[in-house]
Amino acid sequence: MVQGSSYICSLVQSLRSASFPSKLANYRGYTSRAASNSLRHPSTYSDDEYADVDWDKLGFGLTPTDYMYVMRCSKDDNFKEGRLSRYANIEISPSAGVLNYGQASTPFPLISPNISLQQKTEKRGGIYEGTKANRTEDGRILLFRPDQNATRMMHGAERMCMPSPSIQQFVDAVKETVIANKRWIPPPGKGSLYVRPLLAGTGPILGLAPAPEYTFLVYASPVRNYFKEGTAPLNLHIDEEFVRASPGGAGGVKTITNYAPVLKAIARAKDRGFSDVLYLDAVNRKYLEEVSSCNIFIVKGNRISTPAISGTILQGITRKSILEIARDHGYQVEERAIPVDDLGDADEVFCTGTAVGVAPVGSITHRKRRIEFKTEGSLVCKELYSTLVGLQTGRIEDKKGWTVEIH
């Protein structure tokens, strides 16, 4: 889970006067069936050539790569053909649904205490996914559970009244994008190629209604650590003024409107020296939900707990994977409502997400009380993270069928 408001900003910055389709027609690319098993990349670079990147200084920022993938359809049609094009700005109508309703109205406003939870609006905006490609020590390229991203996008699209690519179209589009940008995949141990699939209502619409056209787009960027702390423990702050999501909204959908509303809370927390914000539930203001861009776990002895999915929490794919890995390691796993008071008894706390991986939490501050957790020695989160990364990078044999090798 990653902040999605930068997507809207980049779209706005890239507006031009021509139409979106006419711009794509000028790109150097080729058309292919998204569901085709015959994937060929147009790059002229050799398979063993790396891009000119200082991999040791790689962070989590946008590094433009060579190609992106684009596929479009009307609201009453299905996605059929996609196109690899040179990575470039796109052109879009000022009245595009994603620009007018993707960020302007949300189904779960960032709620202050004096706003009713029943006050919510419907919108047609955009949703996105995040997955990674990793290079193994023996030179293979692996994706991690891309079918889960595809399934989650289909679920989100249904909630947002949008058509979506099929699972096979989604996975094949990700494959094509990765293969075309192979030289941007960092060397083993130096990071990953972060792949960002987007689904947006790009057709023009003035009233609040489904857009007439939709665009599925995939681009990629080499990345390493998400937080500026790197692998150092995070220091979180519980903000009781704002909540991230409310019942009946779309907190469990990876829509772009989940992320812009939390920027104010994040900025305020960072001004106070914290890494990020941990949000409480909107009804009782006493149960843990999630961090701005990742899920939260607490550890007590042999028991690992995480907030149960209830419509306001995103079903993270890393979250799902860590739960299964923890069970395999013999831990007692719980998905339950976690009162904020339980933090005082926790041995460890950690966050999970595609971008963050598994990040240990050093402290959580609530009502001026700083609660500290174990961050040294034998840690549960390090044990689980080692297994996760081992599977993602091919160091551990994948007996679960989670990784997808691409050529």
Measure the CA–CA gap between 96 and 212, rounded to whole angstroms. Answer: 9
Q: H/E element holding 320?
A: helix 317-328
Rounded to whole angstroms, the maximal C-alpha distance in the chain is 60
Strand partners, 132: 194
Report the distance separating Cα 100 and Cα 120, nearest Å: 17
3-state secondary structure of 18: coil
> At which residue do the structure tokens 């929490």 appear?
313
Q: Enumerate the β-bridge partners of residue 83.
A: 31, 70
Which residues have C-beta within 8 Å of that of residue 345, sequence separation ≥ 6?
300
Contact, 240 vs 155, CB < 8 A? Answer: no
Locate 399 and state its tokens. 């007996």
Cα distance between residue 7 and residue 177, in whole Å: 18
Alpha carbon distance 102, 111 (integer Å): 18
Pick the catalytic residue from 254, 264, 368, 382.
254
Provide the sign of the torsion angle of the four alpha carbons 260, 262, 267, 270, taken in this order.
negative
Handedness of CA 173, 179, 183, 187 (dihedral sign): positive
Q: Could you give the residue ranges of the DSSP H alpha helices within 115-166? A: 146-159
- 254 given a catalytic annotation: yes
How many helices, marked H, and strands, marked E, lie in the chain? 8, 18
φ, ψ (nearest 5 deg) of residue 71: -145, 140
Q: Write out the two tokens for 89.
A: 């700005």
Catalytic residue set? 254
